[in-house]
Chain A
């Protein structure tokens, strides 16, 4: 059962949240027998989604997603307009009170998820795409190319993610796009190691040897023969990376290295209002609840996919 992946390398959109829309299982007439990729994506995903855990996760993600996408239309005030006394309590004009500068917390909350969401999706997509590229290339070429690529990944892996991003942000200035790209690059070594490990047995299998012997170009072999055999680890990796991207980008915003201050962002809101926590807890706790829902929802879905794929490796 060959899964026809004409789209090429992994789609950067989220297969966990987005559902199995782009995955048409077309039975190829001449099935070369991808033994390792026997289970189709569709059935793995739908089995994962049927667990109660994944449903809870999807519900959480859907709630946060709706808030992120539709929120800006319902915000009563502009997110960066100073319209009241600082740290007013909830009730009356401001449903959740005001923040440390006197801006409406609810409006900022409704505006503040969009950046985090697209940055996390971009970072995870980029990390998985590049990691896949490096890992599969290393596994396919072997020898000196393999050794060189993997040692280079070792060097990158020696920088803790946040430190890696700080290093570049300090020299290149801060921008949302740069931060998202850097988080993605920081993911590459980890993804490439996993994908290399998953691809090695597939590349050693008979049908890949057959393709090689028939002189198919390497690019075609990697995309058409090897990639369908590693879709399971790829799905797990994408799900996990999305969760971690949310966590890393929220942390960077909190430290002040994500979105520039007047704009609204959940991580940034926590950092801005930390000093007012003892007087008005809501400006800090409300964005935390949303980050928590996002991280928990993503993690529940990702874990149930991982469990379904059977790659939980000791975690039960």
Chain B
């Protein structure tokens, strides 16, 4: 949750766009910078994984490896070539989908990462589909009943959730729903390879619920705040003074403003859901990118790790970029 809140508190990112006709050039520049940043991300990832001081092959194989094994791995990873050539080989491989083979079992990285990416995407997408409407409903209702016991309870609970690590939430859900207390849902979401995630709806319930709870608690609070702002705005106050019906004011005046104001936050929630996915997948042993990256780190499976981290970082950055664009468009209106 932390990076999300930070970003919400950063008002100006880049140069704030001025009048309306300046928005398009700003947008183009922002996207170009985005491409540059993604390129730098790949450079950093490459440098950390392949060009650290010390012998990467030795790190991967451990202290007991023979000299031949180390030499063989160096050749397989192309570590004997000049650094620039290595990077170019790696980047062109990634862009064309040829990401090498896993050091663990010799399978092509694409075959391992592809289905897992799909699984993670499914998990994230289902959570987002639930988070967005629920957050609006909860936030608006809480703002509407402002300072009631219900509203106070929501604020307190959401404050608790923003401080909690995702694994704690996941583990509590398992304890309630998957053990002797209720025992109605599976606590392990191990989807067999080759199956599509939605063939196992029961296994999806708890991971999706965990991510949804975390997202709704955060986004709902922001919707609540922007709805209160919208209701206090001169625009809505004028509508009230004009004697318009309260339902009309609520849905035609206040709600669109509140939703527009929370749009940047919504894409940040999407970005953070990606981080949450890593931990939540691990909690439920769900076969996605998160579990893949953790096991690749544990077994020093360099190519799989590089691919997973690059995908996660790219997706994360894209959603953050989207949030910036929404925020800028919101300001220029």
Contact = CB atoms under 8 A, between A and B. Distances in A.
B168 A288 contact: yes
Contacts of B37: 151, 154-155, 158
Contact of B294 (A166, A171, A278): A166
Nearest to A236: B9
Contact of A315 (B167, B222, B279, B313): B222
Interface stretch (B18-26, B45-53, B94-102, B119-127): B45-53
A247 B164 contact: yes
B145 interface: no
A158 B317 contact: yes
A256 B222 CA distance: 33
Interface string A38-53: 0000000000000000
Interface string A255-277: 11100000000010010001001
A278 B155 CA distance: 32
A248 interface: yes
A132 B36 CA distance: 25
Contacts of B174: 274, 277
B206 to A, nearest CB: 13
Contact of A166 (B8, B163, B187, B297): B297
Interface in A144-191: 151, 154-155, 157-163, 166-173, 187, 190-191
A285 interface: yes
Contacts of B163: 243, 247, 295-296, 298-299
A303 B316 contact: no
Contacts of A154: 33, 37
Given A161-B275, A169-B297, A314 B2 contact: no
Nearest to B298: A256
Nearest to B278: A162
B275 A284 contact: no
Contact of A167 (B159, B225, B309): B309
Given A162-B275, A162-B278, A248-B2, A316 B228 contact: yes
A251 B165 contact: yes
Given A159-B41, A163-B278, A314-B229, A247 B179 contact: no
Interface in A292-316: 292, 295-296, 298-300, 303, 311, 313-316
A250 B5 CA distance: 19
Contacts of B208: none
Given A158-B320, A256-B298, A277-B187, A250 B165 contact: yes
What class of interface size applies to chain B in its complex with A?
A: 35 or more
Nearest to B12: A197
Contacts of B59: 171, 173
B221 to A, nearest CB: 6
Contact of B166 (A243, A251, A285, A300): A251
B165 to A, nearest CB: 4
B202 interface: no
A187 B3 CA distance: 8
B180 interface: yes
B316 A240 contact: no
B175 A158 contact: no
Interface in B5-61: 5-12, 33, 36-38, 40-41, 44-45, 48-49, 52, 56, 59
Contact of B226 (A267, A298, A314): A314
B63 to A, nearest CB: 11
A190 B278 contact: no
A248 B165 CA distance: 7
Contacts of A128: none
A77 interface: no
B236 interface: no
B254 interface: no
A251 B283 CA distance: 10
Contacts of B167: 250-251, 254, 267, 270
B213 interface: no
A291 interface: yes
Contact of A255 (B228, B229, B279, B305): B279
Contacts of B314: 158
Contact of B41 (A155, A197, A270, A299): A155
B48 A171 contact: yes
A295 B187 contact: no
Contacts of B49: 167, 170-171
A157 B320 contact: yes
A9 interface: no
A244 interface: yes
Contact of A161 (B3, B175, B179): B3
B196 interface: no
Given A158-B320, A162-B278, A167-B49, A190 B3 contact: yes
B113 interface: no
29 contacts: A151-B36, A159-B309, A159-B313, A160-B3, A160-B312, A161-B3, A162-B275, A163-B312, A166-B297, A170-B297, A171-B48, A172-B52, A191-B6, A193-B6, A193-B10, A194-B10, A247-B2, A251-B167, A251-B279, A255-B282, A256-B298, A270-B171, A288-B168, A296-B160, A299-B162, A313-B9, A314-B229, A315-B222, A316-B225
Given A158-B41, A194-B9, A248-B165, 15 more contacts: A151-B40, A158-B316, A158-B320, A159-B313, A161-B3, A167-B48, A170-B49, A171-B59, A190-B2, A254-B165, A270-B167, A274-B283, A277-B174, A291-B168, A315-B221
8 cross-chain pairs, A with B, having the tightest CB-CB distances, nearest first: A244-B2, A299-B163, A190-B6, A160-B275, A158-B317, A295-B163, A170-B297, A314-B225
